[in-house]
Amino acid sequence: MNEEKSVRELLRDLSGILEEISTIDENKVYKAKLIDGDGSRSIDETPLERAKNLAGSAIACYVSQIQEILGYEDK
């Protein structure tokens, strides 16, 4: 069963990601899980890489879903 999230829920999730981006420490190395054709492994991310990856995920997941629900997806 694939339950669709409401715009309100998606915005709440998106806010969480944006909050995480806003609290990134420029002097910290972040651990991330990379999943590719060879399986999954832990990698290190710089603060800039972390911010870019989180922003990319936010756009791909949440903004796209919100646009689709509101009828604004690219045609």
Buried residues in 25-47 as b, exposed as e (16+ CB within 10 A): eeeeebeeeeeeeeeeeeeebee
* Residues 4-53 pLDDT 10s: 899 999 999 999 999 999 999 999 999 999 898 989 999 999 999 999 99
Closest CA to 23 of 51, 49, 57: 51
Q: 49 in a domain, yes or no?
A: yes
**Per-residue confidence band for 1, with pLDDT thresholds at 50, 70 and 90:** very low
Structural domain span for residue 22: 7-70
The answer to whether residue 1 sits within a structural domain is no
**Does any domain span residue 60?**
yes
What's the pTM? Answer: 0.77
Burial of 62 per CB tally in 10 Å (0-12, 13-18, 19+): buried
For residue 2, being part of any structural domain is answered with: no
List of residues 6+ apart from 30 with CB closer than 8 A = 24, 44, 45, 46, 47, 49, 50
Query: Between 27 and 2, where is the model more confident?
Result: 27
pLDDT confidence bin for 65, thresholds 50/70/90: very high
